[in-house]
Amino acid sequence: MATARILQTGPGTSIQDLGRMVGSKYGIPTSGVMDPKSYHWVNHVLQNDPNDAVLEVSQPGLKIHFDAPTLLSLAGAKAKVMVNQREISNPSMIAIQPGDILEIGQIFIGRYVYLGIKSGFQTKITLGSRSYFSPVTGESMVKKHEDLPFQSLRSSSSSLSRSKPKWKTEWFEKQELEAYPGPDWNLLDRNTQFRITNGIFHLSKLSNRMGIQLEELIDNRLPELPTNPVFPGTVQLTPGGKLLILMRDAGVTGGYPRILQLDEDSISHLAQKNCGEPIRFRMKDF
């Protein structure tokens, strides 16, 4: 098996696929990519299986060495991408030769960059997924000098398609997220509901793969509720009056009121937002 060696990385780089569906009855979070929309795009461009594993990168400073020919595709956040110190203007499809070094520098727009590889990274599968999650896989991030296996191609340049697709980021630059009323929405009074559906909220610094907390305070007079199931995209109202949007590594159950549920695309959309960015909720009915 060929090897991609991590020469350098910022914190928060991990291997991800669509996550584990089998583990919630044991309390295991789904994990998986924060932004499935961008992830599906790179696997589609590479003509991969829809569940092939990619590198999810959330900080500049990744430097990775490939010892065999392959194809890469990058999408998600827009970042400076270099191969052998030469900047790549459209990184949607890159042919890699043995010895090539790819670098991800400054991230300009968005939060998570997806680095897909032909046939996916071949790291170990635990409980049905390659997604890093420390209680299950031992590590939550890739480390410097870590070797990631992949299947090499005989020749990378002949596999390049003639027309390069172009990745667009406009869809995650808008403010509006689409949400359904959650199971506990009707416990809120009219004023609070109005505030949530009409207000502008900002992402706080408390934000990671488990969840994203919003800055603004909401009056919370709800009683304590029994612990019940939650999912990625569930918006909880904390006892302190903050909105907490659960993301991929969140626990499978929670005790705070579940007031909204984001639709699937809006979870991808939110994942690409950075601290301080504004969002609004647009309520959906069906």
Partner 1 sequence: MDLRPHYMEITPLMGELVWNEAPNDELLSWQIGYMDFLKKNWSEKIKEFRQGFTRISVVWKKELFQIEFKNSLSETQLKPLPLPEDVWEIPVCYHEEFAPDLILLAEQKKLTPSQFIELHSCVLYRIHFFGFLPGFFYLNGLPEILHTPRKSVPILSVPRGSVAIGGGQTGIYPGESPGGWHIIGRTPISLFDPVTDPPVWAQPGDRIKFRAIRLEEFKNWPDIKPISSRK
Residues within the interface to partner 1 (CB under 8 A): 21, 23-29, 126-127, 135-137, 180-183, 224, 226-229, 231, 251-254, 261, 263, 286
Instruction: Report yes or no: 234 and 177 within 8 Å, Cβ to Cβ.
Output: no
By beta-carbon proximity to partner 1, the closer residue of 99 and 240 is 240
Task: Tell me how far apart the terminal alpha carbons of the chain are, to the nearest angstrom.
Answer: 48
By beta-carbon proximity to partner 1, the closer residue of 84 and 134 is 134
Compute the distance between CA of residue 30 and CA of residue 162 in angstroms, rounded to an integer: 37
Measured CA angle at 125 (ends 98, 231), to 5 deg: 120
What is the phi/psi pair of residue 260, to 5°? -140, 160
Among the listed residues 64, 75, 76, the one whose alpha carbon sits nearest the alpha carbon of residue 111: 76
By beta-carbon proximity to partner 1, the closer residue of 263 and 277 is 263
Q: How far is the CB of 226 from partner 1 (least distance, A)?
A: 4
Tokens of 147: 């070797």
By beta-carbon proximity to partner 1, the closer residue of 24 and 59 is 24
Burial of 105 (0-12, 13-18, 19+ CB in 10 A): middle
By beta-carbon proximity to partner 1, the closer residue of 23 and 69 is 23
Q: How far is the CB of 126 from partner 1 (least distance, A)?
A: 6
Return the DSSP state at 96.
Answer: E
Q: How far is the CB of 232 from partner 1 (least distance, A)?
A: 11
Q: How far is the CB of 94 from partner 1 (least distance, A)?
A: 34
Tokens 């995650």, residue? 172
Compute the distance between CA of residue 231 and CA of residue 213 in angstroms, rounded to an integer: 15
By beta-carbon proximity to partner 1, the closer residue of 8 and 253 is 253
Count, residues in the chain: 286
Please report how the helices 264-271 and 36-45 are oriented relative to each other, as an axis angle in degrees rounded to 10. Answer: 90
Q: How far is the CB of 90 from partner 1 (least distance, A)?
A: 35
Cα separations in angstroms, 218 against 68, 81, 243, 274: 54, 41, 8, 21
By beta-carbon proximity to partner 1, the closer residue of 154 and 226 is 226
Q: How far is the CB of 114 from partner 1 (least distance, A)?
A: 23
Q: How far is the CB of 224 from partner 1 (least distance, A)?
A: 7
